[in-house]
Amino acid sequence: MKNSGITRRNFLGKAAVAGAAGIIVPTIITSCSTKKSKEVIMPVMPEKAPDGPLLKAGLIGCGGRGTGAALNFLHCGPNLTVTALGDVFTDRITSCRERLAKDGVEVAEESCFTGFDAYQKVIDSGVDIVLLATPPVFRPLHFEAAVSAGKHVFMEKPVAVDPVGARQIMATGLKAKGMDLSVVTGTQRHHQHDYVANWAKVQEGMIGEIVAANCYWNQSQLWYRNPDPAWSEMEYMIRDWVNWCWLSGDHIVEQHVHNIDVVNWFTGKKPESAVSFGARHRRVTGDQYDMFSTDFIYEGGFHVHSMCRQINGTEGNVSEWLQGTEGSSNCQNAIWNKAGEKIWSFEGYKLDEKGIMTDQLPISPYDQEHTDFVTAIRTGKPINEAEAVATSTLAGIMGRMSAYTGKKVTWDEVMNSELKLGPDVYVMGPVEIVKTVPVPGE
């Protein structure tokens, strides 16, 4: 390791000491002819959030991820609690409430709200923080309401299913900035120590200028639910939400946004156009595809191949890959030079009982993102990830639009698109939308 940079140990140590202050690491870009020094500002990632006055959070969307987010929040530092819950379904509230009770957090009956307007009641219940974890179609509305009420927001990705929603997130994020509110967005790789360390190396110029990238989320079938005669169509769709485009944005947005976001983050750029293939082969319910393959052309002209698939019995891969003029990176724990020799690897993983390095991080990124969130609030140094996640979400939407139509879609088109998915009003009952699976071309 010839590089001056930052080893994980000393940057973690320094970060802990420096508390909230960002560490500026001046380095030299090694790429081509320009030998300008570049400052890489490392994010602050303390092990625990500092103490402070009690912070009360309200959770909107009490499913698995919502409950998980609430627990991550509760564990990230002292003097944190959850005082209100909201969901469209009572059974979700009940299960979430029971789970939180196991951790000693009792949410009062009168602070549990159900229905499509539950979000506003949670926001108005006297909380300081709102955790948003409903299906993404509701995110722009909930985020806007939370920020208007002056709440700090943790929200899950993705943040929208259509361009209208993504723009609403961008604008609301800028409002939050003006109000010094913190917004953290569930793109947890930004808070994952191996990714952050690799990002710093790439920013320092270890792989030179980025000339191409790949990103993948290929996995087996996700999950689905069959209709129940006791449920209205709306209730069924929401319970089966990862299979309906208007609720999830399709899996290129819902899941693969993570990987597109990593490429955006590492390159500091966004795609300018997309040409996608996509199809539905084996999905059981809903109107979504189960595979996408997209050729993004990024600002500056380099290509990024993105692929995602949710089909059983197929090759799995969830990762990213960057090719630079001087080497390549897997964005996580390794960097190679042009000859293919590993020139950097992440060494901060947990050791097992024999002292051999595992692939487990000492701090899970799901905890770390809340630690960073609460630290930002308590130290008065707001962080705001809204625009970045909205940009990545919109990139996924662009890929989806191209696959559905078979046409090239540009950033300007998607940025100016009036596409808005889903019904105009949310009520339990039949859902008046087109439910056919899109077929590209004529």
Partner 1 sequence: MVKRRILLWFIPGLIVGVIFILGFDRAVEATSTNDFCASCHVHPQATSSWKQGVHYATQSGYRVSCAECHLPPKGEGYLVEKTKTGLRDLWSHWTRDSADFDWEAASSLERASKHVYNSTCIKCHENLFPAKLTREGSDAHLYYNKMTEKGEELQCISCHLNAGHYMKDYTHGSNKSFGLAGSRSDTVFSAPAIVDSFASFTEQVPGSGVTFRMIALPGGKFTMGSPDTEMLRKADEKQRETTVDSFFIAETEVTWNEYMEFYRQTATEGRSTDTEGARLNKAGVDAVSGATPPYGKPDQNWGMGMRPAISMSYHAAETYCRWLSSVTGKKYRLPTEAEWEYACRAGTETPYFFAGDPKGFTKKGLFKSRPDTAVINTYVIYNLNSHSRTQEPSAVKANPWGLRNMSGNVAEFTADIYEGTVEHVIRGGSYRDDAAGVRSASRESTRTDEWLKTDPQMPKSIWWYSDCFYVGFRVVMERNEELRMKN
Residue 294 CA: distances (Å) to CA of 110, 184, 261, 272: 48, 27, 14, 13
Q: Does 124 bind partner 1 (CB under 8 A)?
A: no
The minimum distance between CB 171 and partner 1, in angstroms, equals 3
Q: Does 110 bind partner 1 (CB under 8 A)?
A: no
Burial string for 428-438 (b: 16+ CB within 10 Å, else e) reads eeebeeeeeeb
Name the residue nearer to partner 1 (CB basis): 90 or 148: 148
Q: Does 4 bind partner 1 (CB under 8 A)?
A: no
The minimum distance between CB 163 and partner 1, in angstroms, equals 8
Segment near partner 1 (CB under 8 A), from 177-185, 190-198, 209-217, 426-434? Answer: 177-185
Name the residue nearer to partner 1 (CB basis): 168 or 332: 168
Q: Does 408 bind partner 1 (CB under 8 A)?
A: no
In sequence order, what DSSP letters do the residues of 180-212 get, joined into one string?
T--EE-S-GGGG-HHHHHHHHHHHHTTT-SEEE
Candidates 177, 225, 381, 408; binder of partner 1 (CB under 8 A) is 177
Name the residue nearer to partner 1 (CB basis): 56 or 177: 177
Residue 191 CA: distances (Å) to CA of 65, 74, 129, 366, 390: 17, 17, 19, 8, 17
Q: Does 150 bind partner 1 (CB under 8 A)?
A: yes
Beta carbons of 282 and 313 less than 8 angstroms apart:
no
Candidates 167, 251, 283, 370; binder of partner 1 (CB under 8 A) is 167
Name the residue nearer to partner 1 (CB basis): 279 or 433: 433
Alpha helices in 8-162 (DSSP H): 8-18, 64-75, 90-102, 118-123, 139-148
The helix (H) or strand (E) run that includes residue 392 is helix 386-405
Q: Which amino acid is at 151?
A: K
The minimum distance between CB 414 and partner 1, in angstroms, equals 10
Burial class of residue 293, CB neighbours in 10 A (0-12, 13-18, 19+): middle
Encoded one letter per residue, x for contact with partner 1 by CB under 8 A and - for no contact, window 409-428 reads: ------xxxx----------
Name the residue nearer to partner 1 (CB basis): 367 or 387: 387
Q: Which two tokens stand for residue 93?
A: 């509230």
Name the residue nearer to partner 1 (CB basis): 76 or 141: 141
Q: Does 122 bind partner 1 (CB under 8 A)?
A: no
Name the residue nearer to partner 1 (CB basis): 379 or 405: 405
Q: Does 268 bind partner 1 (CB under 8 A)?
A: no
Q: Does 380 bind partner 1 (CB under 8 A)?
A: no
Q: Starting at the earlier edge strand, list the strands of the sheet with 80-87.
A: 112-114, 80-87, 55-60, 129-132, 152-155, 183-184
Name the residue nearer to partner 1 (CB basis): 167 or 258: 167
Q: Does 147 bind partner 1 (CB under 8 A)?
A: yes
Q: Other CB atoms closer than 10 Å to residue 119's CB: what's the count?
A: 25
Q: Which amino acid is at 30?
A: T
Phi-psi region of 68 (alpha: psi -120 to 50; beta: other; left: phi over 0): alpha
The minimum distance between CB 143 and partner 1, in angstroms, equals 12
Q: Does 148 bind partner 1 (CB under 8 A)?
A: yes
Q: Does 393 bind partner 1 (CB under 8 A)?
A: no
The minimum distance between CB 168 and partner 1, in angstroms, equals 7
Are β-strands 129-132 and 152-155 bridged in parallel, bridged antiparallel, or unpaired? parallel
The minimum distance between CB 257 and partner 1, in angstroms, equals 20
The minimum distance between CB 124 and partner 1, in angstroms, equals 16
The minimum distance between CB 178 and partner 1, in angstroms, equals 4
Q: How far apart, in whole angstroms, are the C-alpha atoms of residue 300 and residue 200?
A: 21
Name the residue nearer to partner 1 (CB basis): 280 or 407: 407
Q: Name residues contacting partner 1, limited to 21-60 (CB under 8 A).
A: none
Segment near partner 1 (CB under 8 A), from 53-61, 168-176, 208-216, 341-349? Answer: 168-176
Q: Other CB atoms closer than 10 Å to residue 126's CB: what's the count?
A: 11
Q: Which two tokens stand for residue 274?
A: 């997309």
Q: Does 383 bind partner 1 (CB under 8 A)?
A: no
Q: Which two tokens stand for residue 380?
A: 């008065």
Q: How far apart, in whole angstroms, are the C-alpha atoms of residue 401 and residue 414?
A: 9
Strands (E), 265-388: 271-279, 291-298, 303-310, 317-324, 327-329, 334-337, 342-345
The minimum distance between CB 298 and partner 1, in angstroms, equals 16
Binding site for partner 1 (CB under 8 A): 144, 147-148, 150, 163, 167-168, 170-172, 174-175, 177-179, 415-418
